[in-house]
Amino acid sequence: MPHPRKSGFFVTFEGGEGCGKSTQLQLLRRFLESKGHHVTATRDPGGCARSALLRKLLVEQDSGNWDALTEALLFMAARNELLQNVIRPALDNGDWVLSDRFVDSNMVYQACGRGVSAEAMALLADLVVADTLPDLTIVLDMPVEDGLGRALAREGSAHESRFEQLDVSFHERVRQGFLDIAAHNTHRCVVVDGRGSPEDVHARILSALERHLADKR
């Protein structure tokens, strides 16, 4: 059954490894809270107990031998828990919801990156996500070498290095996959240059958000 239309505003951050999603999500969260908005910040997978358990299997452990379809199903299961327990209740409460990754990452990593059919991914997305799509998706883009360099240098990367250690051609497919999604979903996606200081990128995101909100008025 479709979920009733939410009253909050749903923003997702997407992009390849090391593009700065987590940093930019927190900067936007602080900005919105300074303006008096109630914000729920989360990550996908993760964000609630059951989704976090699946995250450990998918991201933080040596799970590179998953069949690609099995991996996609586990990601969708984690997302279903996140939607049911965090995202939909927060949107129903009128919150701004900010998520570090969402269903576009599945479409890119498992379809473009690992070869699961786009038709299978769309079927799973329709089943799990239904009409709880982002109001705005910010795709942070940068050259693959720059993003991987950032990702491998950051503190603690050894604990979540599974995708970072895949070959460059995989990450090139991922980057192009995100750009293709943005090009085909201009009503909700904006591509933001992820290069430069966090403050510079944050300023670009605020400008993109302002334009998006103006277009919706």
- Residue 181 sits in a domain of what CATH number? 3.40.50.300
Flag whether 2 is in a domain: no
HEC string for 201-213:
HHHHHHHHHHHHH
User: Are residues 39 and 26 in contact, defined by beta-carbon separation less than 8 angstroms?
Assistant: no
Flag whether 38 is in a domain: yes
Flag whether 1 is in a domain: no
Of residues 216 and 14, more confidence is placed in 14
Q: What is the pLDDT of residues 55-64, one digit of tens each?
A: 888 876 655 6
Q: What percent of the chain has pLDDT over 90?
A: 65
> Which structural domain, as residue segments, surrounds residue 177?
9-216
Rounded-to-integer distance, Cα 97 and Cα 88, Å: 9
Flag whether 148 is in a domain: yes
Q: How many domains does the chain have?
A: 1
Q: What is the pLDDT of residues 93-138, one digit of tens each?
A: 999 999 999 999 989 988 877 888 989 999 999 999 999 999 999 9
What is the residue type of 14? E
Flag whether 4 is in a domain: no
Q: What is the pLDDT of residues 167-202, one digit of tens each?
A: 788 889 899 999 999 999 999 999 999 999 999 999
Mean pLDDT, to the nearest integer, of 22-44?
Answer: 97
- pTM exceeding the 0.75 threshold for the entire prediction: yes
pLDDT of residue 146: 85
Flag whether 3 is in a domain: no
Flag whether 184 is in a domain: yes
pLDDT of residue 159: 41
Distance of CA 172 to the CA centre of its chain: 17
